[in-house]
Amino acid sequence: GEFNDWNPDATPLTSEGVSGIWEAFVPHVGHGAIYKYQIWSRLHGQVVQKADPFAIHAETSPKTGSVVWDLEYERCLLYTS
């Protein structure tokens, strides 16, 4: 994502066993940062970029990035309006 200058090798994911869950900790990523997952398909032998299916926010079409969203940020906006 933006936080690693879109370098897929800079932030590798690690597998959480047989659960199918992969994770990475990325320090200092802020509200509004855009990211995607880069996935290598063993079945098709190709690399694809995918949006986060569990992201709270996403870029507006035709862009396809996921957006880091701090729920506290949204709550603060509601209370200060």
Q: Could you read off the pLDDT of 22-67 as tens digits, one per residue? A: 888 898 898 999 999 999 888 888 999 999 999 999 999 999 999 9
Q: Could you read off the pLDDT of 1-33 as tens digits, one per residue? A: 999 999 989 999 999 889 888 888 898 898 999
pLDDT for residue 43: 86
pLDDT for residue 73: 62
How many domains does one find in the chain? 1
What CATH number does residue 58 fall under?
A: 2.60.40.10
* Cα(35)–Cα(37) distance, integer angstroms: 7
Cβ-based neighbours of 48, under 8 Å, separated by 6 or more: 38, 39, 41
Q: Residues 26-31: contacts with CB within 8 Å, 24+ apart? A: 28/3, 29/1, 29/3, 29/68, 30/68, 30/70, 31/68, 31/69, 31/70, 31/73
Residue linked to tokens 């949006």: 51
pTM of the model: 0.77
pLDDT for residue 72: 77
What is the residue range of 33's domain?
Answer: 2-80
